[in-house]
Amino acid sequence: MMTESVLGKVHSIETFGAVDGPGVRFIIFLQGCRMRCRYCHNPETWQGNQKEQYTLRSAEDVFKEALRYRTYWKNGGGITISGGEALLQLDFVLAVFSLAKKIGVHTTLDTAGNPFTREEPFFSKFKQLCDVTDLFILDLKEMDDEKHKKLTGYSNKNILDMATYLSDQGKHMWIRHVLVPGLTDEESGLIALREFIQTLQNVDRVEVLPYHVLGVPEWERLHIPYTLRNVNPPTAEEVKRAEKLMGAFVRA
Ligand code: SF4
């Protein structure tokens, strides 16, 4: 595969990420996402075709920049690609991760899974991606499909199918759920999430991410109506309750 010529729409880069994968991470945030999560804190990453929102860069160029930070990648650190929705630029992720695996760099893909399909040409490329991805961080937003559609604009069926596929392939996963009071904190929904997660192999971590309002100014700047104005972040007790219901854990 000619990795040099694969271009990606890079929204931004974080050189010392600490939470999106093990150790210290070089995080590449890609532009573009089809979902419209009501609580999204990066709505500026949604549009895939607004040139002012991204820089077009080759996989090799981004990888070379990442390597400048290699000395910090102890304790399993490495490269994470996130979004927006990174799987919309599958070729680019594949190219960067292929370069990384050639020299043994740890790779993590942070995704909400919306582009996943078992149809071609996506599926064959996704299988190749699995070969060069050490860890998948998967956002599971809601188990009930109708509620998922209301929350994100899309069905969750293919997302759950992706989790099952990754499990069947023995891929390591971290599962994340954003906790929004009154929206994604229903007891039955959290229990359903736990029950689904229990069907998966190789889940090393289940995390509750408390909803926050840091992204609201971005919605305002973009003149997109924000529908959660009256929602406050969950309290520490509410987060603990959700963690218990969801069966949150971290495998050492
Ligand atoms: S999947 Fe992520 S980037 Fe896309 S709308 Fe939802 S929270 Fe925002």
Residue 98 lies in a domain: yes
**Residues whose CB is less than 8 angstroms from the CB of residue 90 and which lie 6 or more positions away in sequence, other chains included:** 115, 122, 125, 126, 129
**What is the position in ligand 1's atom list of the atom closest to the CA of 36?**
5
Residue 38 lies in a domain: yes
Residue 221 lies in a domain: yes
Residue 2 lies in a domain: no
Counts of helices then strands in the chain (DSSP H, E):
8, 9
Q: What is the pLDDT of residues 214-236, one digit of tens each?
A: 999 999 999 999 999 999 999 99
Task: Report the chain's mean pLDDT, rounded to a whole number.
Answer: 96
- For the domain that residue 154 is a member of, what is the CATH number? 3.20.20.70
* Structural domain harbouring 119: 7-250
- The CB of 153 under 6 Å from ligand 1? The reply is no
For ligand 1, atom 6, the nearest C-alpha belongs to 37
Residue 1 lies in a domain: no
Residue 231 lies in a domain: yes
Total domains present in the chain: 1
Write down the pLDDT at residue 3.
Answer: 46
Q: How confident is the model at residue 150 (pLDDT cuts 50, 70, 90)?
A: very high
Write down the pLDDT at residue 1.
Answer: 52
